[in-house]
Structure 1
Amino acid sequence: MAIVAGRADGRFAAWFAAIVVLVYGLILLPPLIRAQGDASVFVIAGDLFVDPAALPAPIVVRPHSPGFDGQFYYRIALDPFALVPTAHGITLDAPSLRMMRVFYPLLAWGVSLGRPGLVADAMLGLNLAGLGLIAWLAADLSRTLGRPRWCCLAMLAWPGFVISLMRDTTEICSAALVLLAVRAAI
């Protein structure tokens, strides 16, 4: 009997993760439609740090703007082994700080197979997949710890996940890794 209940709970975690990815995907739709499907709109690149003429692939660059952190992770994802402040038309504002958060851009570089034209899509896809993993882990941890199913919603109530998703930053990847470590320890 416990095996059947475990299977049912496992299916709940999978369904919950799928629903979370769908909901966050729907949140992405309006800006993606406005950008005609260009995922680089979420990089939030600004011309203060980005030279559009020197980019290896075109991205949306906001004029007269400092941009946001995602532009620096985008630059690292273009070439995670370029340890210079300026490469591929993007200057890192704080190179040592940005390189401490290299795992997410390294994943994006790997998923994009190092192809500059796919990096923005890879970053967005990784963050969306990360939210699915967080949702699955939250549901699984709720079950493992004997908590009600609704407890897994608390993990996703943090509005920072929407900001991270819409700005191509590292928080989603970091949270997923922390939850993986917690799950592995239990």
Structure 2
Amino acid sequence: MNNLVIMKDKQAVTIQTQKNGEKFIKINDKHFDYIDLLEFVCKASYTSDDLNTLLATIDLARDIAPTDKVGFLQQSVREIVLRNFDSKTFTEFDIHNLAKEKISSFISGCEVINHKNHPKHIPDMWVRIGRKEIPVEIKLRDFNLKARNQLERYMDFYGCEKGIAIGKRATTKLPENILFISIAELEESK
């Protein structure tokens, strides 16, 4: 079990005090003093998706700090963690690129195409399957009713029988003529 998972379990983390008065925590037979813990959090922030536990671990470090004059150091570590977390977070633009790269391997006979759009009706991308051009609407988070209405508006405006919806998950019922692809499915496709 990795150390961050253990930090998440408050029962598994106890603060101990050495004979010289310094406080530390012990995880998997390893001692973490104040500086060790802050260093651990900084390193973990490059790979962990668990922001809440990272921030809680910084708060835990405050409890074992050798002095109460460490506010600036802890705030600096917190900013590093937040910056690292933000830098690895997907944006909708990243999902657009992922979809352009992977959709043709996900749907047989599908190719991404350029399409002349009306300025008030611009889908995120277009694909062609056989002879049919299909608008694609991409959402970084959930594909909800508002997104469905937006895609259906494009389908109606351009006279398309089908549409493709991409998002984290579909939170609205989609008609049979709209294919939903989750971001996870795109990431897993070859």
With the shorter chain as reference, the TM-score category is: under 0.3
Higher Cα radius of gyration:
2
Richer in helix (by share): 1
**Structure 2 length as normaliser, TM-score?**
0.26
**Structure 1 length as normaliser, TM-score?**
0.26
